[in-house]
A and B are shown apart, each in its own frame.
Chain A
Amino acid sequence: MGRLPSVLAGIAGLLLGLAPATLWGDEAAALADLIDQHVQARLESEGLTRAALAEDAEFLRRVFLDLHGVVPSADQAATFLKSRNPNKRSQLIDQLLASPRFGDHFGDVWRGRLLSPLANDQRVQAERFAGWLAARFNDNDGWDQITFDLLTASGKIEENAAVTYLIEGRHPLGVTDLADLSSRYFLGIRLNCAQCHDHPFVDWKRQDYWGMAAFFAQIQTPGRPKVVYLAGVRDDPKMTLASLKDADAIEGLQLAPPTFLGGQEFQAGSTKTYRAALAEWITSSENPYFARAMVNRMWWHFFGRGIVNPVDDMHAGNRPSHPELLDLLSRRFADSGFDLKLLCRAIAGSRTYQTTSRAGEQPDDAEQLFARMPLKVLTPEQLYDSLVAILGPPAKSSGIDIRQGAREEFRQFFAGDGDPDPTGYQRGIPHLLRLMNSPQFAGRNVEALAARIQADGSSAEEVVDRLFMTILSRPPTADERRLVEAQFDDASAPSQAVYRQVAWALLMSSEFSLNH
């Protein structure tokens, strides 16, 4: 487990008057304080005030979705809301981080980034790859180790799931896509403009792009994807950029030697493979890009926007909203051994993260300075897993072909393409028709849920409470209760049909569809 080095703690202490942290939890708490102080200072300098603390229910649902990718169960919600323990929020964060569901969620998230949507077989290989990532996240392996292993993996896909990135991340452009993806996700740099011309805004030149691409040249597979499945990923020292398939047809190709960004050429005669050299350089704690890229990416995960935006376009001309905070978090992240759970604990434990998403005094653009939590749209995986958690397994539905697996089909149907803005609602008529009217979830499952909750509840009031707790993880407000009770027929006891309608409406609601 990473310890905060005393020197840094001393610096932080000098700067902010904090006692050096001694325990892991304290370390996260100290970082959380730093986050809050920096965000607060910036807000004050702009004459803005931060929004109120999120209510327990708001925090609960948010932190479940962000750390586990699923809404809490009604029982989990009830227990948390009832608890009077003043530390219940940080205890919940710790519980969520300790559960294997944490790794599953982040494995899912990173598999979506690292594998091309055009990959050959999304189901089997992608799931194995997600499983490999999940185990690494759950073991809290350093992000440097995980990245190193992704870049240097060898062998066949069925023997070593880690090679999936090198095979399917780049389908089917190979070397150039790997250069793009690796700089985007591991360095927070968009190099792709420099494939064909020197970058218009930044320092990157074509030779930077092709110098990066050259590191992947030893693993190119000239044939079809099948060849790489049979032979596996291996390094062939004879391969160079010049041996790329149809090299003369590749836009902007420059036959650069492998060169690290910034111009340092890889030493010929080294015994290392190109990839090992690149992986060492990328994950080095001296590398100014690596820690910043992940800190910004994780911040983006929790807040729906980065400290630098776009999240993967970090360069001198693109100012962070909180430069000192980004520097500080990056340094502490690197010094902790790239400890992802520490970073999650610090961010989720901050007052900044626990700010309400409700509109208040702040102007809308204050969200950009994290005065208020923006609404994030549930990802396809969060939506599917939450529907399953509430309603049970999906029912068969004509018009939905689940040969590739129901979850995978759902994921592809509801996914946006590219790197979607987490706060932008991108779904249209087809998606909403399906959610409202397909029996996959909206039919018998809703009926059974209503029946089950009705059977458990002794009074109509209790049933309505339980419906809200199950679907929205909170009790109804007085207004909502009146609105629902207005649905009851005058004399007779409320029918199951009414509960079914209420459940359906809650499941289709904006509140359910968004992470607020």
Chain B
Amino acid sequence: MPFTLPLTRRRFVSSAVAGAALSGWLGRLAAQAAQAAPAADQPQAKSCILLWMSGGPSHLDTFDLKPDAPDRVRGEFRPIDTSVPGIQISEHFPKFSRLMQHAAVLRGMSTLESDHQLASYHVHTGYQKRAGGVAFPSLGAIASHELGRADAPLPNFVCIGQGPRHSTRSGFLGPDHQPLDVLDPSRGTEFLSPLASQSEFARQYELLRRFNASFLDLHPAESARAHSSALERAVRLMTAEQKQAFDLSRESDDVRDRYGRGSFGQGCLLARRLIETGVRFVEVTMGDGVGWDTHRDNFPRTRALSLEADAGMAALLEELRERGRLDSTLVIWMGEFGRSPQITSGGGRNHWARAWTSVLAGGGIRGGQVVGRTDREAAEVVERPISVGDFLATVCQTLGIDHTRENQAAGVKRPIPIVDTSREVKVIAELF
């Protein structure tokens, strides 16, 4: 609800520092917000939802099962048929299995880092983390930068859940592309409402604007400008109609149940609502803390996690389809790496970056296919290996972003391409 200023008060009018039109800014902000209502969003503009499987899911127990492998590798789960003949996945993704015609399963993921934080950083940014080096932007910040509208009332990039914070920041792309973090989707985003009453907030914000205007007058520096503009964007969000997108209680119980009532399912629902409001990139993290990092008890845990992931992502894809947004919304399912073929004595699997699986769905890609193949123990990629660069360049192409476009980071002489082109980059042509 937009704030209103108490018009009867004379205080602003009598002010000696009176500059721009008094009290007009709240109205202007509300008007801008109204213009950017969901209906105004061009349907052909692409958006992306990254379902981040924190901890690194076992590819052998989700999307690259090896029923013929020896016992110490094979695991407990059975493969099931999907809506696409010939493609089989784990029995614990029953709902998603019926949507396979929309999805491509990338079984050739082959990456370099096998430490959680370094691998998260690498697959999010396309660059390996080096001490004291350049701060690279994450995929979400890149999408915000390339696809986002500067005047959008909501941030163009939102992260839901306890995600890998170090990997999702905007780096050298700066404050406009920092994600808004929503830790608990059922609570929505924090700190959207003023502590004071709305009329009091309007008064104190007006006072703040005056203080800032006179400071900027004396100090016309970029930092002071950036501070004022970030403040204004934050207040615009507080006053925007579209902040209702954060309020899941506006959805029926049926819809909420369909996604699963856990934090991940509700996060998927929130992601759908945000995309419909014009947010370009939403990352939903599944698994706070340990998540898919199943060094022990891999099978019971992967089973439970799979069922939860299945409900959330299947409901998301179905709803996007029903609401006409599946072709313009790319959904990515991935973690930072896969897990070792060898089952440990504790019934777990360790980290494995050399061969693993991610899934793409929607976004106008050609679905119903598997790309790449691993050996009989899912230990090595034997056909169509996909590097981090290949993967991100493919995502960029789907979203209509030129992955070779270069950015200039402050303090760095060389221009930095969106995807590291110092190594050969092969877009996955099969998807287009």
What are the residues of chain A within 8 A of B234 when measuring CB–CB? 429, 432-433, 436
* A235 CB to nearest chain B CB (Å): 21
Contact of B261 with A by CB under 8 A? no
CA distance A502 to B11 in the complex (A): 14
Is residue B155 within 8 Å, beta carbon to beta carbon, of the partner chain?
Answer: yes
**Segment 210-238 of B: residues with Cβ below 8 Å from A:** 210-212, 214-216, 218-224, 226-228, 230-231, 233-235, 237-238
Report how far A368 CA is from B132 CA in the complex, Å: 24
Residue of A116, A169, A424, A486 with highest tally of chain B CB at under 10 A: A486
User: Is the Cβ of B228 less than 8 Å from the Cβ of A436?
Assistant: no
A516 to B214, CA, bound (A): 14
- The residues of A that contact B11 with a CB separation of less than 8 Å are 486-488
Question: Do A181 and B223 have beta carbons less than 8 Å apart?
Answer: no
Contacts of A169 in B (CB 8 A): 131
A503, closest chain B residue (CB): B204
Q: Give the contacting residue for B237; candidates A400, A433, A513, A514; CB below 8 A.
A: A433
- Of B175, B176, B207, B414, which contacts A505 at CB under 8 A? B207
Chain B residues contacting A430 (CB-CB under 8 Å) are 155, 178-181
B132 touches A418 (CB 8 A): yes
Judged by a CB distance under 8 angstroms, whether A320 is at the interface is: no
The smallest beta-carbon distance between A466 and chain B, in angstroms, is: 17
Q: How far is the CA of A77 from the CA of B221 in the complex (A)?
A: 26
Interface residues of A in 467-503 (CB under 8 A from B): 479-480, 482-484, 486-488, 497, 500-502
Interface readout for B280-309 with A: 1 if CB under 8 Å, 0 if not? 000000000000000000000000000000
Contacts of B208 in A (CB 8 A): 504-505, 508-509
A514 touches B16 (CB 8 A): no
**A309 and B181 contacting across the interface, CB-CB below 8 Å:** no
- Are B203 and A501 in contact (CB-based, < 8 A)? yes
Most chain A CB neighbours (cut-off 10 Å) among B133, B134, B192 = B133
Q: Is the CB of B131 within 8 A of A501?
A: no
Smallest CB gap from A438: residue in B:
B191
Q: Give Cα A502–Cα B170 distance, bound, in whole angstroms.
A: 33
Which residue of chain B has its CB nearest to the CB of A421? B410
Bound complex: CA A377 to CA B221 (Å): 11
Tell me how many residues of A have a C-beta within 8 Å of chain B. 80
B117 located at the interface, meaning its Cβ lies under 8 Å from any Cβ of chain A in the complex: yes
Contact call A482/B15, Cβ cutoff below 8 A: yes
Contact indicator B231/A501 (Cβ below 8 Å): no
A427 touches B230 (CB 8 A): yes
Decide if B371 is an interface residue (CB 8 Å cutoff).
Answer: no
Chain A contacts for B230, CB-based, 8 A: 425, 427-429, 431-432
In the assembled complex, which residues on chain A have CB atoms less than 8 Å from the CB atom of B411? 309-310, 313, 419, 421
CA distance A63 to B319 in the complex (A): 58
Stretch of B193-201, B310-318, B372-380 lying at the A interface: B193-201
Chain A residues positioned under 8 Å from B194 (CB to CB): 436-437
Q: Is the CB of B204 within 8 A of A172?
A: no
Select from chain A the residue with minimum beta-carbon distance to B131.
Answer: A177
Fill in one digit per residue for A103-130: 1 if any B CB lies within 8 Å of its CB, else 0: 0000000000100111000000000000
A419-B132, A501-B204 known; A428 and B171 CB under 8 Å? Answer: no
- A residues in contact with B14, CB < 8 Å: 486
Contacts of A184 in B (CB 8 A): 131-132
Task: Tell yes or no: A170 within 8 A of B by CB.
Answer: yes
Q: Tell whether, in the assembled complex, residue B200 and residue A501 are in contact, meaning their CB atoms are under 8 Å apart.
A: yes
- Contact between B166 and A358, CB atoms less than 8 A apart: no
Report A-chain residues with C-beta under 8 Å of the C-beta of B410: 421, 424
Measured CA separation A484–B214 after assembly (Å)? 14
The answer to whether B135 has its CB under 8 Å from any CB of chain A is yes
- Contact call A501/B207, Cβ cutoff below 8 A: yes
Q: Which residues on A sit within 8 Å (CB–CB) of B189?
A: 433
Interchain CA distance A170-B223 in the complex, whole Å: 32
Contact B117 A118 (CB under 8 A): yes
Which residues from 270 to 299 on chain A have a C-beta closer than 8 Å to any C-beta of chain B?
none
Q: Is A140 an interface residue (CB 8 A)?
A: no
Q: CB distance B219 to A375 under 8 Å?
A: yes
CB of B251 closer than 8 Å to a CB of A: no
A488 to B207, CA, bound (A): 12
Q: Chain A, 78-121, contact with B by CB distance < 8 Å: what is the 0/1 string? A: 00000000000000000000000000000000000100111000
Contact pattern, B 391-408, Cβ under 8 Å of A = 1, otherwise 0: 000000000000000000
| Chain A to chain B contacts (Cβ below 8 Å), 17 pairs | A313-B411, A364-B220, A418-B135, A419-B132, A423-B223, A424-B174, A425-B227, A436-B234, A437-B191, A480-B214, A483-B211, A487-B11, A501-B207, A504-B208, A505-B207, A514-B219, A514-B224
Known interface pairs A417-B171, A424-B226, A510-B215; 6 further A-B residue pairs with C-beta atoms within 8 A, sorted by A's residue number: A192-B133, A425-B226, A432-B233, A433-B192, A502-B207, A506-B211
What are the nearest 9 A-B pairs in CB distance? A418-B135, A399-B190, A428-B178, A425-B226, A428-B175, A501-B204, A177-B131, A437-B191, A432-B234
